[in-house]
Amino acid sequence: MKSLIALLQFATILPLGKMQDLSHFGRRLYVYPVAGYVVGGIAALAVWWWGHSALAAAIALALVLVVSGFHHFDGLLDLGDALMAQGDREKRIRALTDRQVGAGGIGIGFVTTLLAFGALIAVPSAAVAILVSEVCAKVAMAVLTIFGTPFKEGIQSYLHQYARPWFFWPALLFFLPLLLVVRPGRLLVLVIVTLVVAALMLVSSRRLFGGVNGDIVGATNEITRALTLVTMVLIL
């Protein structure tokens, strides 16, 4: 329970009492997808009775961002600025880690949110889609945290020190409960998309920045959510 509470205190703004040592979560990084079930579940329950509408899609997307404290969205904005930075690796890293948000950050934030919102409108059930996409996003974050070599000290380096390669397999097992709401073939497609996005983020961040930091892990959450939602539109 300490691991789960530490995870939710780290990944959400939910009031969960006394702060737990983050090392409890670090030693069990494979439970990352639980946060997806909690955050996605809150959003799904909130819009379950709203029916299928643009308002339901907007509420669902707003809730996952708010309940997550916009932490991962902030990482997406930082990544956007870094991708637009002109110059060598050091300049990109400075753009990634500074506190200012430029046109690149605003642009990638807008595009990613627009894709997620448009997909939520198009899927048969916004409630099911937001739950599934949020679990996929947290699995991708687990993959980045486990396999992403840190290029600087920070939250990624702290959590990565506890990571073990075998954590990957129990993290994948958290996809199985989604079989209650998604057909096996379609879930397999979503698993593949999730892992491909995570792999691309690992490879590109290594080439651009020399490794991974917390901003890149957070950006992976936002990008994976949007792309798995778009995938659901295509396969449904």
pLDDT digits (tens), the chain, 236 positions: 899 999 999 999 999 988 899 999 999 999 999 999 999 999 999 999 877 789 999 999 999 999 999 999 999 999 999 999 888 899 999 989 887 888 899 999 999 999 999 999 999 999 999 999 999 999 999 999 999 999 999 999 999 999 999 999 999 999 999 999 999 999 999 999 999 999 999 999 999 999 999 999 999 999 999 999 999 999 87
Half-sphere exposure of 71 (CA within 13 A, CB side): 14
Structure tokens at 13: 């703004």
Give, for 194, the enclosing helix (H) or strand (E). Answer: helix 184-209
When divided into structural domains, the chain yields a total of 1
**DSSP 8-state symbol, 152:** S
Domain of residue 138: give its range.
Answer: 2-235
